[in-house]
Amino acid sequence: MKTGELIRELRNARGWSQARLADELTKVSGANITREYISRRWESGKCKPSAFWLRHLVTVLDVPLAVWESEVNRRQLLASVAATTIAPVVANDLLAEGFAARLAGRGPSVDSWENRLVGYGADYMSMGAAEIQRRLAVDLAVIQQQCDQPRMWAAAAKLMTLYAKTFPGSDGTKAVTWYQMATDAADASGDVTTRVWVRGRAAIALGYEGAALPVADRFADEALAISERPSLGRLNAIYGKAHTAALRGDVSTARALDLEGRRMFDQAGSDEQTSDYAVPWWRLGVFRSLLAARLGDEASAVDAQDSSRRELPATLPRFATHLEMHRGLMLVRAGDRDGGIAYAQAALDALPPEKHSLTLRMLMQEITA
């Protein structure tokens, strides 16, 4: 099946016209494309989409890049279409055929995986969860074949932790299961820093989302018990516990943990500004902003929001949306429910849909509850 035929079939599977596909691509890419171009250039078979447009076709049609770049079982892919949801047979022919060559050579080296982690850390901060999830699913299928040494287990653990973050913690199964597997992989690495970081990242992710609070506490307690050495993992664990305490109404514990967390940041905070594997000053402010809003401490919340906003990189608008939605939660906690919901919804609506995250949606649910 040619690329043009695939575009037409996937478009038709969603019930989209060529004009609708053009509109979706324009919204996601920020570049203009017309119905005529799709019809006369792509679907006619005169030319294939460029790398730029392939990246955005991945997003709007929800099909992995590997499918666009090769002839891997496209007919079987189309057979898996149900309603408007595309379900690629990732675990079967796509992986078997699409990645056989990579696995035959034992796949990327440990150094390559560690470099890839750096890229994922940056990409997660600005890209949507769906696209990150698709990419990670492919890489996890490859790296699982290579986990035969401690450094490879450490890289896999960090990939798995990020993959878990692409599922809502309120799901009750997927996110928690992947976080648990990530901790097992971290333990297999034998690296203390990785073992603490994976557990701390799971704790702050679940605590911030307000999901699976007993699990968040368990991961945090495990992280804190493994090592007392100052680290980002320990910092994340402290704030994970602070958020679970705030959500349970334990104000004194939440405040004590916030104070401990600020001291830990002085020892372990990051200079790196745009990675999910880092906690710079502005990100600490995001943690503290939501914590103070949950505690009904308006003065502390506003101070955290203002200090965070001053250093937040302009390239990360999603986190500016977090801060604005925290203000909405403050209004709700202060008694202005309608005003707070409207404020938070306006902030969310101002962010392009492809930049939305599961965490923002869960925050909106908390505000409207």
pLDDT digits (tens, 9 = 90+) for 316-363: 999 999 999 999 999 998 899 999 999 999 999 998 877 777 788 888
**pLDDT band with cut points at 50, 70 and 90 for residue 105:** low
Q: State the pLDDT at residue 351.
A: 86
pLDDT bucket at 61, cuts 50 / 70 / 90: confident
Confidence (pLDDT) at 21: 93
The per-residue pLDDT for 144 is 79
Please state, in angstroms and as integers, the Cα–Cα distance from residue 225 to each residue in 214, 220, 222, 239, 257, following that order: 16, 9, 5, 15, 15
Read off the pLDDT of residues 165-199 as tens digits, 9 standing for 90 and up.
887 655 556 788 899 999 999 999 999 999 999 99
Helix (H, G, I), strand (E, B) or coil at 156: helix
Cα–Cα distances (Å) from 77 to 6, 91, 158, in that order, read 10, 12, 29
Q: Indicate the range of 35-39, 93-97, 269-273 predicted with least confidence.
A: 93-97
Question: What tens digit of pLDDT does each residue of 137-159 get?
Answer: 778 877 877 888 899 999 999 99
Cβ neighbourhood burial of 30 (10 Å; 0-12, 13-18, 19+): exposed
What tokens were used for 329? Answer: 């939660």
Cβ distance 196 to 158 under 8 Å? no
Q: At 95, is the pLDDT very low, low, confident or very high (cuts 50, 70, 90)?
A: very low
First to last CA, the chain: 48
Q: CA 20 to CA 34: how far, in whole Å?
A: 10
